[in-house]
Structure 1
């Protein structure tokens, strides 16, 4: 087996620490060709679709990609901003704010973002960090709730990348933070801020991304973690069981997925007499196609058509200060033991290293 070339080694250079915030991904543009490339990569992942490869290849290439790409491109176009894909814009800003927040707390770390599918790709970011001398890397998925279809897929990509590396950095992975106090608190404050401006609804619906029901039966903890997040958030808001619901959205294909489904549920609520409904998507930390188009547009239409009169979508945490603080706390917890804090001893060591580098450069210049 051949390995990728390593950067030129510099003796005495201190290793660096990096935090990689990894989100699902997005097409490069709201066009049929760009969406097709994205869907091909996404739906070719065996973690996402567990149908036997030989069968799935024909379905994907002869049915889904030719017909779904154009339809999805129109949906992406409806939410695309001047800055680009909302998911990418929010994730990039989150990484920048997280870097600043960790820096204010005394940590000397490099914070970057990557996408599991699309750009910037996870392998390209890991290669970049290798070039920068990062020898300790913390992988922070943008998914609070663990699922084999999302978090484990990120882990797969990281392991696959380093199979071709001779010098593998020290790696740490964050599996989940669905019940982390700061994450729940950020959600609570975002809901209360929305209610302060718009008033309280008759029901609060918490919609999570769906996965096939068989994943639950085979041992995936995603369903349980979604319900725990919902329960903790409801308790923090002082809601009774009758005042909130948990549903699952984005069903794909004919197989049974986790229930209850979001769209039919909001229609039933409207027919039962619920007139004011708020929907929040706690499993998404950045607004994206599934929140801005599916929930804020399609599900809203379903609710109003069924007789509801007041539908409000509560935005994702995005660049909320409480959410950035929560990410920082989660990252700090998983960096324990790494020399990231700028202690006097570390500062002195860095200054000594800088002086050695300057002297070496001066000697090189003199010899020339």
Structure 2
């Protein structure tokens, strides 16, 4: 039986040129799971306001982290795929399919169908579930399979925010930095509160206050990841915290904000700050530029002395072995 594994992530521009960044942002932000407005309003907002302004700014940020091999997200994901091919062996086809940009999820699905794949494992590489990320990708795969009249045995990797196979490799990447750290900050990608309300009928008071509310809540899953990592690292209360980054637009987002938290920690006397970003499995614009460059600058400007960004699990050997257990 021919088996295939699709590693899915959000995607990346083809290059850091403004034109390529605009193409990517247009595709990303026009997804109704990302901006949930009616199409005409979404089109006006994205094409008329957001991407004309943000594309040059985002292109400059991509240039700051771009490598000779290409986008860090794409490079790390392909290296991870290579590791999995070594572990899984010739019985598996392992492909990378991005939700936006290339390699396109749509093209990968068509190619796998032509390869007569019978079992398809779809793995959204997002530890915590959100409709804008995993949800959108899963919906896309199911819709495309239906359009192609293709019915392989479909298995979908669920959220792995609380799985030891993910947590332990991430914890071991943080551990070497603990001796010098005054504080460890776990920074997660943020979401508009409106998306939390749509997912389960409202922002629970407990969740809004920073306590777990529902098992399927993105914020709860993020806080669970932070608490589990703190437990594995034996971090006492007060030596770690969790926050949410990457706010876009004027709408209210879940908090506390990473930008604000970094400044508050520095103002409160934290001199050596270690930051990990466990809502990402591969280093990307949001980790390397937003936190590694922008967050560091904010921290030092606010009085901090040393800022360390912990790498994501990327193509870490222990993570690759753990991931195979997750999909099998």
With the shorter chain as reference, the TM-score category is over 0.9
SS in 2 for 1:134: coil
Note if 1:141 corresponds to 2:141: no
Task: Measure the CA separation in 1 of the matches of 2:70 and 2:109.
Answer: 23
- Once the 2 structures are TM-superposed, how far is the Cα of residue 330 of structure 1 from its aligned partner? 0.5
- Once the 2 structures are TM-superposed, how far is the Cα of residue 242 of structure 1 from its aligned partner? 0.8
Task: Measure the CA separation in 1 of the matches of 2:150 and 2:229.
Answer: 43
Task: Measure the CA separation in 2 of the matches of 1:72 and 1:182.
Answer: 33
Task: Measure the CA separation in 1 of the matches of 2:111 and 2:156.
Answer: 19
> 2:194 is matched with which residue?
214
Task: Measure the CA separation in 2 of the matches of 1:330 and 1:185.
Answer: 13
**Equivalenced residues, count:** 312
Choose from 306, 309, 312 the match for 1:313: 309
Choose from 271, 279, 290 the match for 2:267: 271
Alignment of 1:122-271 (within 5 A): 122-195=105-178, 199-218=179-198, 219=200, 221-271=217-267
Q: Is the 1:39–1:65 contact (alpha carbons within 8 Å) kept by the matching residues of 2?
A: yes
Unaligned runs of 5+ in 2: 201-215
- Once the 2 structures are TM-superposed, how far is the Cα of residue 213 of structure 1 from its aligned partner? 1.4
> 2:207 is matched with which residue?
none
Alignment of 1:40-79 (within 5 A): 40-79=26-65
Task: Measure the CA separation in 2 of the matches of 1:166 and 1:228.
Answer: 39
SS in 2 for 1:241: coil
Q: Is the 2:4–2:119 contact (alpha carbons within 8 Å) kept by the matching residues of 1?
A: yes
> 1:17 is matched with which residue?
3
Name the TM-score, length of structure 2 as normaliser. 0.93
Q: Is the 1:96–1:112 contact (alpha carbons within 8 Å) kept by the matching residues of 2?
A: no
- Once the 2 structures are TM-superposed, how far is the Cα of residue 217 of structure 1 from its aligned partner? 3.0
Task: Measure the CA separation in 2 of the matches of 1:239 and 1:215.
Answer: 31
Structure with the greater alpha carbon radius of gyration: 1
- Once the 2 structures are TM-superposed, how far is the Cα of residue 51 of structure 1 from its aligned partner? 2.2
Task: Measure the CA separation in 2 of the matches of 1:194 and 1:142.
Answer: 25
- Once the 2 structures are TM-superposed, how far is the Cα of residue 108 of structure 1 from its aligned partner? 2.1
- Once the 2 structures are TM-superposed, how far is the Cα of residue 81 of structure 1 from its aligned partner? 0.2
> 1:115 is matched with which residue?
98
> 1:300 is matched with which residue?
296
Task: Measure the CA separation in 2 of the matches of 1:75 and 1:100.
Answer: 34
- Once the 2 structures are TM-superposed, how far is the Cα of residue 169 of structure 1 from its aligned partner? 1.3
Q: Deviations over 1:147-203 (max 9, x none)?
A: 1110011111102211221332111111211111121111111111344xxx33110
Query: Which moved further from structure 2: 304-313 or 219-228?
Result: 219-228
- Once the 2 structures are TM-superposed, how far is the Cα of residue 215 of structure 1 from its aligned partner? 2.2
- Once the 2 structures are TM-superposed, how far is the Cα of residue 253 of structure 1 from its aligned partner? 0.4
Runs of 4 or more above 4 Å deviation: none
SS in 1 for 2:279: coil
Task: Measure the CA separation in 2 of the matches of 1:66 and 1:165.
Answer: 35
Q: 1:321 to 1:194 in 2, by over 3 A?
A: farther
Name the TM-score, length of structure 1 as normaliser. 0.83
Instruction: Give the superposed CA RMSD.
Output: 1.2
Q: Is the 2:177–2:274 contact (alpha carbons within 8 Å) kept by the matching residues of 1?
A: no
Q: Deviations over 1:89-113 (max 9, x none)?
A: 000010110121123xxx8211111
